[in-house]
Amino acid sequence: MGGLLERAAELEVLRSAVRGARECRGSVVVIAGEMGIGKSGVVRAFVRETEARVLVGHCDDLVTPRAFGALRDAVKGTGGPLESALDTADVFGAVLAELATPTVLVIEDLQWADDATLDVLGYLARRISELPAVLVLTIGDGPSTERLHRSCGAAAAAPTTQLQLAPLSVNAVSTLAAGTSWDGAELHALTGGIPFYVTETLAARDEVVARVVLSRTMRLSDRARNALERLSVVPGPIGLALAERLLGEDFPALHEAEEHGILEVRHDGLAFRHEVVRRAVESLVPRLRHRFLHRDAHALLSTSDSAPSGLTSRQNDVLALLAEGLTNAEIADRLVLSVRTVDHHVSAVLTKLGVTSRRQAAAIARNRVPSHAC
């Protein structure tokens, strides 16, 4: 990536907060957004440019989180009052003493914070307006706990700026894709403009995306993961009623995937939030199981009036060239796309049309149906 794109306004908010802190007008800045949206990227860019003292701690997604885990990371090696107090009962007073000199305290991934850290941060937030300090909190996807809500409520009572990071625009993604075989609009449609997915896709590191997606799905119950795998063979949105028929008793478990930001409910049905995530989940399904799941989905969709939404403009282009008998490589050359992108489009076309072969798809494009599938 040649630089941090479309985040200038967020960086200026952080700079302004530091200027206020120098005048003893402390504040809280909350940077929120889904996994991969670039919260840490904004923090890193700010840390590189600022002359302020910065302490950074990370909350870990652990079954049993470390007490004061992020705070321990932030002050490790400082020799200050907070580092000395973390194993005593005087943590609350020590955090105020630590921030009595101009400081930016960054706590990343607050959604995974342990209860002790949340208590201290809530205590700090209620008093930060009188300190020469900025408290920066990043919050990603994940089920919200009552204690997290309470901590965020304490931050809201302080001078607080909420930054909700937006996905990159098509123009920004096109800038990143310049000089590659990717079409910017196609890459944006695949990744939803999420910086992490954009950069990893450009680097052809599909396995990295798959590992990240796997780590997210492992937080779900067995029934939720099973439901996600079943949905992954269906490109595009699927109606709620149809999804319930496809998933059966596992359907209610999907609320977990929605809470973790993997799925979303749209006006046209249920869908993976990003196509690249759907493909990653699908790639993790064992081949034989994938065959059975595809068969089940095809059987249901082919007899339903509520099939997923129609082909995109690009998929219609691909379908037209399939009808001409072109190979994927020839289609890629004609449309100036990568062969990998065409492979994905062909797979989506077959599923959306409810067919299993290129010949059947081509026949539909020519307005005739073959007497048998090959």
97 in a structural domain: yes
| Of the residues 164, 189, 218, the one at which a domain ends | 164
192 in a structural domain: no
* One domain for residues 34 and 155: yes
pLDDT at 99: 96
Could you list the residue range(s) of the whole structural domain that residue 303 is in?
A: 205-307
The CATH number of whichever domain residue 51 belongs to comes to 3.40.50.300
* One domain for residues 55 and 70: yes
197 in a structural domain: no
Would you call 299 helix, strand, or coil by DSSP? helix
* One domain for residues 215 and 303: yes
pLDDT at 369: 39
pLDDT along the chain (374 residues), means of 10: 83 98 96 95 97 95 84 92 84 94 96 90 93 96 65 74 96 95 89 96 91 92 96 85 92 94 86 92 93 86 58 81 88 86 86 77 62 39
* One domain for residues 104 and 130: yes
Number of domains in the chain: 3
pLDDT at 358: 86
* One domain for residues 211 and 289: yes
SS3 content of the chain, % helix, strand, coil (to 5): 55, 10, 35
* One domain for residues 317 and 302: no
pLDDT at 173: 96
CB 321 within 8 A of CB 358: no
* One domain for residues 113 and 244: no
* One domain for residues 18 and 131: yes
179 in a structural domain: no
Would you call 266 helix, strand, or coil by DSSP? strand
The CATH number of whichever domain residue 335 belongs to comes to 1.10.10.10
Q: Who's near 81: CB < 8 A, 6+ residues apart? A: 94, 97, 98
Stated pTM of the model: 0.78
pLDDT at 240: 87
335 in a structural domain: yes
The pair phi, psi for residue 264, each rounded to 5°, is -145, 150
* One domain for residues 23 and 81: yes
HEC string for 214-250:
HHHHCCCCHHHHHHHHHHHCCCCCECHHHHHHHHHHH
140 in a structural domain: yes
pLDDT at 181: 86
* One domain for residues 151 and 230: no
190 in a structural domain: no
148 in a structural domain: yes
* One domain for residues 109 and 40: yes
pLDDT at 373: 40
pLDDT at 104: 98
CA distance 277 to 371: 36
* One domain for residues 150 and 25: yes
